[in-house]
Structure formats: structure tokens, C-alpha cells
């Protein structure tokens, strides 16, 4: 097992590097000029200023040399400085990642906690009202566009019923908690500020539902399908023939086997939530990585783009690794 993990880790490392190379080449084929994405009209027209600026950001060097510099810095744990924020990329990521991490994690838990039981019930009581509800929920979740759902949620619960707080992570006049982890739920507890905890939690409700919607739909459907498949297996028939209570069969026999595809799906879904929240973040003015990534891309902020790519690649690779490892735990046949 350790050997298995080690070899996977090494592969992951190579893959991450490859991902940065691909993005580096892709980002550099865009015909736009980063100078013009960043500088004002007057500065961008001043040749000396532009030349100095290019030199400052290393944009005057040949492509391969720039990539080598990126690699060299990387091995010193330095992702370079973002051109548009003029701060170390690592610091930017550190500032923006917690908001996304918090939102994605809450959404993920929400999707699992609602999606799995719903899927199980739907499978067990096939064609009952609960199955229809589950189907409806997953259909709505999967098919409604995020920006639309986000806006409807805001309009109904914030604007209309006035039972939910508005955009942002905390109330507009609340002060953020002293930063320990950057996760407001945890920081506010550490600071002993329950008022703020309540505020931060309330602000998480709408965006996390919106973000969870698609994932929830997927998980419900997959759970249902997977359960149904397992229910047809011989061992279930045997268990029933033995006279076991149905509840035991579901929990003890069907569920563990049905969970395997959900682990894969869940892992990837989590990675997706972490990296794909741009729209939700925009509408809820959530200061997370999604917005940062978007801005970096449209302003051709190469160091930031590279940094984000690397982080995203690493997140996916780690989650994939965890999936594989958990496979081995769930299904001993995987590792011989």
C-alpha cells in the first residue's frame, strides 16, 4: 500500500508540472498583449515605460526562458508576483482560497447529506412519491443554470421574503474576525464571537445551496442508480432468503457496495466545487478564488494564471489520489 501511494504521488507531481506547461503554452498563444490589459492608455503608449514594464515582469524574455524561471521559482516555493494585484501570487491565493474552501465544503456536505439519503430512499421506494421528489430535485439541480438559480434565490429569500442575508460573507457593517484560518466559521468561533458565527453561517446558506444544486442532483441520481443495481445482486437475494430485516440489508449489504461509484463522483464533485464557483461567487460577491481566476485570465496575468493552474491541478490530483486510496479501502480487490 505505501508503495502504491508513493508511485501515485510521483505520477501526480509529474502531471502537475505537465499541466503548468500546457497552460503556459496556451496562455501565451492568446494574441492579446498583457501590457494593454494592465496599463492605462497613456502609459501603454509610452515606449520606454512599456519596455521597462516588460522587463520588470520578465515579459521580454523568450518563452522557454520564462517557463524555466517559473520552474526555478516553483522549486523555491515561490509562485512569483501577480501582475495585476502586484502581490505574491501565493499571498493572493492564501487570501482568496479560504472563502472558496468554506463555500465549497459547506456545499459539498450539503449535497452529500441531502443527496445520498434522498437517493437511497428513492431507490428503496422506487416509483413512490419520494422517488418522484428525488427525481424532481435532481432534475432541477442539474438543469438550472447557476446564475439564474443564484439570482432567483437572492430575489426570493433576500429581496422578497427577507429571511436570508444578502451577498457577501458577512453583514455589510460587520467586521471580519481576526484571521487565523480565513474560514469565517472557524475564525469567529476561535474569537468567541457567536454573533459573527451566526452571521457568517447565515450568509453561507444561499450561495451554498446554489453551488450544491448541481452536485446534489448528480449525487442523488447516482446513488439511486447504484442502489438499484446492487439491489438486483445475488447476495441481496441470499440475505433476504436468510430472513434478515430489510433495513439491515440496505445498510449492511447494499449501501457499502453502492457507495463505490459515489466516492468517485463525490471526490470529483468536490474538486469541481472548489474550482468552479465563478458564477456563484460573482452573484453573491463572494471574495473567492473563482473571481480571482477569472480576472487573472481576462487580464492575461501570467504569474497568477500559472499559480492557479498549479493549485487546481494539485487539488484534482490529491482528490484523485484520495479516491483511489479509498477504493482500496472500500474494495480490497483493487490492491492485490
Partner 1 sequence: MTDGLGWIDRRRLLQLLGVTGGALAANLPDRVFAQTRKNTLVLGIDISDTITLDPARLAQYTSPMTVAAAYDALVTMKPGEYINVAPGLATKWGRTPDGKGWRFTLREGVKFSTGNVMTVEDVKWSFDRVINLGDQPSQYIANVDRVEIVDKSTIDIILKEPKEPLLSIIAAPEFIVMERKVAEANGASAAKDAKTADKAAQWINSNSCGTGAYRIAAWERNQQIQLVRNEHYWGGKPPYERIVIRHISDGAAQLLAIRRGDIDAAFNLIPEQIAALKSETSVRMAPLPSLDFVYMALTQEPEFNKALAVKEARQAIGYAIDYDGIVKNMLGGAALRPAHFLPIGVSGSTEEVARQIGFKQDLVKAKELLAKAGFKDGFEFEISYGNAAVQGVTYQDLGLKIQSDVARVGIKVNLRPVDQVNLRTEYTTGKSKGGVLTFWNPPAVDNWLWAGAVINRVAKRVHWTPPDDVRKLVAEAATETDAKKQADLWVEWQKQMVDQANHFVLFQPVYQIAVRNTVKDFPLTAAGWMLDLYGVKPSA
Among 66, 169, 221, 253, binds partner 1 (CB under 8 A): 169
Q: Which stretch binds partner 1 (CB under 8 A): 40-48, 62-70, 216-224, 258-266?
A: 40-48
44 binds partner 1 (CB under 8 A): yes
Interface stretch with partner 1, choices 29-37, 138-146, 269-277, 314-322 (CB under 8 A): 29-37
Do 327 and 334 contact (CB within 8 A), yes or no? yes
Toward partner 1, which CB reaches closer, 16 or 112? 112
**Does the footprint of partner 1 cover residue 72 (CB under 8 A)?**
no
Which residues in the 107-146 window bind partner 1 by CB under 8 A? 110, 113-114, 117-118, 120-121, 124-125, 130
Contact by Cβ (8 Å): 204, 185:
yes
Instruction: Restricting to residues 260-319, name those near partner 1 by CB under 8 A.
Output: 282-285, 287, 291-292, 295, 298-300
Cβ contacts of 137 within 8 Å, gap of 6 or more: 118, 216, 217, 220
CA distance 185 to 16: 31
Among 197, 207, 187, residue whose Cα is nearest residue 106: 207
Q: Which of 57, 96, 270, 316 binds partner 1 (CB under 8 A)?
A: 96
Which stretch in 6-14, 160-168, 252-260, 268-276 sits in contact with partner 1 by CB under 8 A?
160-168
Which residue's entry shows cell 457499502?
Answer: 256
Closest residue by Cα to residue 70 from 31, 100, 27: 27
We find the least distance from the C-beta atom of residue 117 to partner 1, in angstroms, to be: 6
Asked if residue 164 binds partner 1 (CB under 8 A), the reply is yes
Closest CA to 57 of 308, 290, 299: 299
The CB-side HSE value for 125 (13 A sphere, CA atoms) comes to 13
Amino acid at each position: 500500500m505505501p508503495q502504491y501511494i508513493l508511485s501515485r504521488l510521483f505520477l501526480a507531481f509529474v502531471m502537475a508540472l505537465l499541466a503548468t506547461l500546457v497552460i503556459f503554452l496556451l496562455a501565451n498563444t492568446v494574441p492579446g498583449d498583457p501590457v494593454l490589459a494592465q496599463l492605462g492608455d497613456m502609459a501603454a503608449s509610452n515606449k520606454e515605460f512599456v519596455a521597462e514594464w516588460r522587463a520588470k515582469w520578465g515579459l521580454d524574455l523568450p518563452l522557454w526562458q520564462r517557463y524555466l524561471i517559473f520552474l526555478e521559482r516553483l522549486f523555491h516555493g515561490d509562485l512569483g508576483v501577480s501582475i495585476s494585484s502586484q502581490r505574491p501570487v501565493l499571498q493572493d491565493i492564501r487570501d482568496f482560497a479560504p472563502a472558496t474552501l468554506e463555500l465549497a465544503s459547506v456545499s459539498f456536505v450539503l449535497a452529500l447529506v441531502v443527496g445520498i439519503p434522498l437517493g437511497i430512499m428513492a431507490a428503496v421506494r422506487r416509483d413512490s412519491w419520494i422517488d418522484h421528489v428525488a427525481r424532481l430535485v435532481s432534475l432541477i439541480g442539474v438543469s438550472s443554470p447557476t446564475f439564474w438559480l443564484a439570482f432567483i434565490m437572492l430575489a426570493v429569500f433576500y429581496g422578497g421574503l427577507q429571511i436570508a442575508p444578502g451577498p457577501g460573507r458577512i453583514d455589510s457593517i460587520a467586521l471580519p474576525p481576526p484571521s487565523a484560518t480565513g474560514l469565517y466559521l472557524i475564525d469567529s468561533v476561535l474569537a468567541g464571537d457567536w454573533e459573527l458565527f451566526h452571521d457568517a453561517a447565515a450568509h453561507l446558506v444561499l450561495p451554498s445551496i446554489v453551488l450544491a444544486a448541481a452536485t446534489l442532483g448528480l449525487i442523488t441520481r447516482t446513488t439511486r442508480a447504484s442502489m438499484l443495481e446492487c439491489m438486483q445482486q445475488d447476495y441481496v437475494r441470499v440475505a433476504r432468503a436468510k430472513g434478515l430485516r430489510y433495513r439491515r440489508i440496505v445498510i449492511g449489504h447494499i449501501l457499502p457496495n453502492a457507495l463505490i461509484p459515489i466516492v468517485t463522483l463525490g471526490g470529483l464533485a468536490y474538486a469541481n466545487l472548489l474550482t468552479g464557483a465563478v458564477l456563484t461567487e460573482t452573484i453573491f460577491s463572494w471574495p473567492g478564488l473563482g473571481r480571482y481566476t477569472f480576472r487573472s485570465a481576462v487580464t492575461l496575468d501570467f504569474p497568477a494564471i500559472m499559480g492557479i493552474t498549479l493549485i487546481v491541478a494539485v487539488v484534482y490530483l490529491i482528490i484523485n489520489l484520495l479516491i483511489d486510496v479509498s477504493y482500496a479501502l472500500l474494495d480490497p480487490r483493487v490492491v492485490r
